[in-house]
Structure 1
Amino acid sequence: MFRLFNRKKSKRPVQDWELVLMYKTLEKLPTEFEYLKRQIEADIFASSLVGYSASYPDYVAFSYADGISAFERKREHGYKITNIKVRDIGGSKTFMYVIYVHNGVITGYSIHGLKKQIIDVISADTDAYVKEFYADDNEDYESLKRIISKDDLKLIKPENVYKLNLKGRVFYHIEDLEDGDFIGIESNGQICKITHDPFEIILLKENLAEILSM
Structure 2
Amino acid sequence: MFRLFKNKFRTLKSWEIDVFRELLDQLGVEYKHYIAQLNFIEKVGINRSDIPNLISFIYPTSFYKKFENHKVYNYILENLIIKDLHSTRNIVITLYFAHNIFLGYSSDLKYSTFECDNKNIFYGDIKKKVWGEEGFRLIKKYLTSAELKHINRSEVYISSIEGVEYFHLKELSDGDFLGVNNNGVFFIVTHDPLEMKEITRVFACHILQFGNEPFN
Which TM bucket (shorter chain)? Answer: 0.5 to 0.7
* In the alignment, structure 1 residue 136 sits paired with structure 2 residue 133: yes
Unaligned 5+ runs, structure 2: 1-5, 140-150, 170-177, 189-195, 204-216
1:92 to 84, 88, 93: 88
Structure 2 CA distance for aligned equivalents of residues 157 and 36 of structure 1: 23
Other-structure match for 1:13: 11
* In the alignment, structure 1 residue 58 sits paired with structure 2 residue 60: no
Task: Please list the CA deviations of residues 56-82 of structure 1 after superposition, one character each: whole Å capped at 9, or x if unmatched.
Answer: 231011110233322222111101111
Moved more, 10-19 or 97-106: 10-19
Greater share of helix residues, 1 or 2? 2
Task: Please list the CA deviations of residues 164-202 of structure 1 after superposition, one character each: whole Å capped at 9, or x if unmatched.
Answer: xxxxxxx976334xxxxx52347xx852477xxxxx99x
Contact 1:144 1:172 in 2 (8 A): no
Q: Which amino acid aligns with 2:65?
A: S
Larger Rg: 1
- Compute the TM-score of the two structures, normalised by the length of structure 2: 0.63
Q: Which amino acid aligns with 2:54?
A: Y
Other-structure match for 2:174: none
Other-structure match for 2:26: 28
* In the alignment, structure 1 residue 174 sits paired with structure 2 residue 181: yes
Other-structure match for 2:185: 183
Unaligned 5+ runs, structure 1: 1-7, 163-170, 177-181, 195-199, 202-214
Structure 2 CA distance for aligned equivalents of residues 132 and 84 of structure 1: 13
Matches within 5 A, 1:144-155: 150-152=159-161, 155=164
How many residues were matched structurally? 172
2:122 to 122, 125, 128: 125
Contact 1:175 1:184 in 2 (8 A): no
Contact 2:158 2:165 in 1 (8 A): no
- Compute the TM-score of the two structures, normalised by the length of structure 1: 0.64
Structure 1 CA distance for aligned equivalents of residues 42 and 153 of structure 2: 37
Give 1:85 shift.
Answer: 0.6
Judged with a 3 Å threshold, the aligned counterparts in structure 2 of structure 1 residues 86 and 184 are, in CA distance, closer, same or farther, namely same
Q: Which has the higher contact order (CA 8 A, sep 6+)?
A: 1
Task: Please list the CA deviations of residues 26-50 of structure 1 after superposition, one character each: whole Å capped at 9, or x if unmatched.
Answer: 122122212212322xx11111000
Other-structure match for 1:80: 76
Identity fraction in percent: 14
Contact 1:131 1:154 in 2 (8 A): no
Q: Which amino acid aligns with 2:164?
A: L
